[in-house]
Amino acid sequence: MRLILSRRALLGAALAAPAIGHAQGAPIRIGTLTPLTGAGGPYGPAMANCARTVVEQVNAAGGVLGRQVQLVSEDDQTNPEAGLRAARKLIDVDRVAAILGTWASAVTTAVAPLCWESRTFLCTVSGADSITQLPHNGWLIRTQPNTTLQSRKLAELILAQGVRRVFMMAPQTPFTQTSFNQTKAILEAAGGTAELLIYDDKKPSLRTEVDQAVRFRPEAIILGGYTPDTSVLLRDLYRASYRGKLMGYAYAVNQQLVSSLPPEVTEGIFTFAPSPAEGSPAFAAVQRIAGTQNPDPYTCQVYDHTNLVLLAIAAAGDASGQAIRDNIRRVAQGGGVAVDNLADGLRAIAAGQKVDYDGASGPCDFTEQGDIQDCKFRYDQVRGGRITLLRIA
């Protein structure tokens, strides 16, 4: 007799099965949910690979709590619906204790309730203020500075260039309006002014929107989108003969975008981004893993996510999401043996010592709400087809 089961029946059987993930000797399961495709596609593969390499290294050294670590990587496609489906699979089927690396704020906003409802810990690199304002009750941290901090840094960049009249162009995202409001408030306090235009990021041309921006006579235009729509916007700004200053987020105005457009279209664009802890041993480790001297901040942050989650598990002596939630700050802040890698941290914990982890993205000290307390920022400018460092502050 041949038994045929539907996918729904198989899934139901999997969900009803005993949770063997916490049994002694069974693998510790964690997941990455990064944008392997879509607007975040330039970053997601390197983020997932970094987590995978850290896991491979710890497994080669004997694992955590005497157990191997199993990493499951899924693609959120930089899309909330796809991210939700992938998160359900990680939580319900793979039974991961933590999800690492959600990138787009819209994806994180969609996924976060699933995590706290299932008691799965979430580490994110999304920046929208609204994320840590969710009723997550301690079930998430983010290593990316929030919108408030980023808006202050953007305003400082604008004012440092002597600009007082700004027009921001951006698609609708969870951070667009908040970012604009906060930036505008700082500019107005310094005697400046700003306007916002929200555009459809799926349009093949934004010329009508560009014409509206140019009529405002801005000294600078802020590029508030992701890489694909920013590419469209830059072409139309150049065709409209706009020659004022351009400023954008480094996650959108990256080397991939700059290399894909004629040099005259991108020349002079200012960008800013959270700066990794350049020169630190942890940053050097990410350089080796990523195979580049300039790993992006998100890859550095996911390196820290992986280390922090596994250190929290080791400190707790338990691989559950609850254990991670209750111990993540215990290994990240508040004094103890300073460590910047998993191997040293695990040895210190095994010796009964408290550890204080600082990583590739910098000090991993979190507020009660889950925000990173502070970090340095990197300011660059496109010159001759290359992104060139101006300063880190």
Mean pLDDT of the chain: 93
Q: What is the DSSP letter of 91?
A: I
Query: Are residues 38 and 107 in contact, defined by beta-carbon separation less than 8 angstroms?
Result: no
How many Å apart are CA 242 and CA 387, to the nearest integer? 21
Whether residue 197 lies inside any domain: the answer is: yes
Q: Average the pLDDT over 230-249 and give the result.
A: 97
What pLDDT, on a 0 to 100 scale, did the predictor assign at position 24?
54
SS3 362: strand
Strands 121-124 vs 140-142: parallel, antiparallel or unpaired = parallel
Does residue 370 fall inside a structural domain? no
Say if residue 72 is in the same domain as residue 160.
no
Token digits for 371?
């925000």
Q: Answer yes or no: do 27 and 119 share one domain.
A: yes
Tell me the C-alpha distance between 29 and 189, whole Å.
50
Please check whether residues 23 and 141 belong to one and the same domain: yes
Clarify whether residues 252 and 387 are in a common domain.
yes
Average pLDDT over residues 32-55: 97
Range of the domain at 11: 7-145+279-363
CB-CB contact of 248 with 271 (8 Å): yes
> Cβ distance 233 to 223 under 8 Å?
yes
User: Which of 39-48, 114-123, 145-154, 236-245 is predicted least confidently?
Assistant: 145-154
What is the predicted pLDDT for the residue at 13? 31
Same-domain status, 240 and 328: no
- What pLDDT, on the 0 to 100 scale, is given for residue 25? 81
Residue 372 lies in a domain: no
pLDDT tens, 176-209? 999 999 999 999 999 999 999 999 999 999 999 9
Q: What is the pLDDT of residues 55-80, one digit of tens each?
A: 999 999 999 999 999 999 999 999 99
- Residue with the two structure tokens 């399961």: 29
pTM as predicted: 0.86
Q: How many domains does the chain have?
A: 2
Residue 19's pLDDT is: 34
Residue 154 has pLDDT above 50, yes or no: yes
pLDDT digits (tens, 9 = 90+) for 204-214: 999 999 999 99
* H or E segment and range at residue 383: strand 377-383
* Whether residues 111 and 172 fall in one domain: no
Cβ distance 29 to 321 under 8 Å?
A: no
The pLDDT assigned to 374 comes to: 85
263 and 165, same domain (yes or no): yes
Name the nearest CA neighbour of 41 among 78, 66, 12. 78
Q: Are residues 97 and 184 in the same domain?
A: no
| pLDDT at 97 > cutoff 50 | yes
pLDDT at 238 over 80: yes
Q: How far is CA 46 from CA 42, 60, 80, 93, 329, in A?
A: 8, 21, 20, 25, 26
Q: Is residue 368 part of a domain?
A: no
CATH of the domain at 230: 3.40.50.2300
